[in-house]
Amino acid sequence: MKIRTKGIKNLVFTVISLSIVAILPVTSINADIVAHLYEVETPVIGQGREERAYVVREALKEVLVRVSGRNEAAVLAADELLVPRPARLVQQFRYRKFKRNEVIPKAPDGAKPYKQKLWLRFAEKTVAKLLREQNFPVWGKSRPATLVWLVVDDKKQRTLIGNGSSHISRTYIEQEATKRGLPFRLPLLDLADQAKIQASDVWGNFEDTILEASSRYQAQAILVGRIYLGYANTWNTRWSLYSAGQRQDWEASNSEVLRTAVNEGLSKTAEVLSVRFTQTNVAQENDSILLQIKNVSNLKAYNKVIKYLKSLSVVTQFQAQQINTDDIIFHINSRNGRLGIAQAIELGHVLVTDGSQSVIPPESVESKSGQLKADLIYKLVL
């Protein structure tokens, strides 16, 4: 297709030679970049092959769940026919000593104490290929930041967990969120928070109060948890997740330990958000759309757009199709089609909706004026 140009000659020269395939992390305000998605560190007793083989398979389960966002993805690593040698998926590994002040986990009953840690990094492309071949999604490194409001009632008092809290629940939140690849934030509970919200507001799940107090944190999802110790001395939980103008509630009961009760909220949140921001339809991997981006009138703005498009994990290939005075239309190949691109862009503040989105498919190549008709239209935030 002929590239139509108006002005900005430097852009023309750059674009004509441009044909990029890239999967890189996104940069945004409300989305966080989750590093080390494909890495696991776990305590071990020794350096024997038998123990390492077991640990590698268990670590692969964790990575598959973290990358897909789906708990059921762990079964892939457990299938010895599908993954006969999980060590082949390992890119690097090394043994590490515990740090001087590090808390060493307790080994299972009857086992020798842990002496060191095994660090593993799995091959990103190989893991992603395994998931896609089994119709599981691959959740990118850019994920919605989640603000966690949690109250724990242990029959003695109700404690609102904050960023500086010494309550053990704070540690459990950090550990489970890391395991799930879920970027999270805890409230500061400073004077600004105290003026707007109390533990009783979170316990009662007073929606307006919670949402107002949450606005300062610029999180894209808000998780509200209430954990209490029941008469049978087991932990019960009630959870509410606010995201994209929707609310989802769930409960869990009879957890024997507090860690399990906390994990119920974080693991379910990761699943809900992964469903929203990923798709499993493999047939859509070659879907293509036309994306128009306005406010691109100089080389600096153009380079910003190129860098951003390269960062979207749902984009497999893109190429400039038409350059105008202050906008560019790109031909985009996407794993998840139009919806996947729109959801990925929604996570960041680099592009904003233009308000004149077209529903005309890419096959309608040009209008009478010669202007390509885009499927999605956004403005670049300068």
92-117 tens-digit pLDDT: 999 999 998 898 999 988 899 999 99
Q: Is the pLDDT of residue 21 over 50?
A: no
121-132 tens-digit pLDDT: 999 999 999 999
Fold of 142-273: Double Stranded RNA Binding Domain (3.30.160)
270-287 mean pLDDT: 69
53-65 tens-digit pLDDT: 999 999 999 999 9
Answer for the pair 187, 217: CB distance below 8 angstroms, yes or no.
yes
pLDDT at residue 237, as a whole number: 97
Q: Residue for token digits 């395939």?
A: 21
Beta partners for 256?
none
227-277 tens-digit pLDDT: 999 989 999 999 999 987 889 999 999 999 999 999 999 999 999 999 888
342-375 tens-digit pLDDT: 877 877 778 988 755 543 344 444 444 556 788 8
294-310 mean pLDDT: 91
Which pLDDT band, with edges at 50, 70 and 90, does 32 fall under? confident
Q: Is the pLDDT of residue 30 over 90?
A: no
Q: Is the pLDDT of residue 26 over 70?
A: no
Which pLDDT band, with edges at 50, 70 and 90, does 192 fall under? very high
Closest CA to 213 of 238, 246, 185: 185
pTM, entire model: 0.72
Which pLDDT band, with edges at 50, 70 and 90, does 286 fall under? low
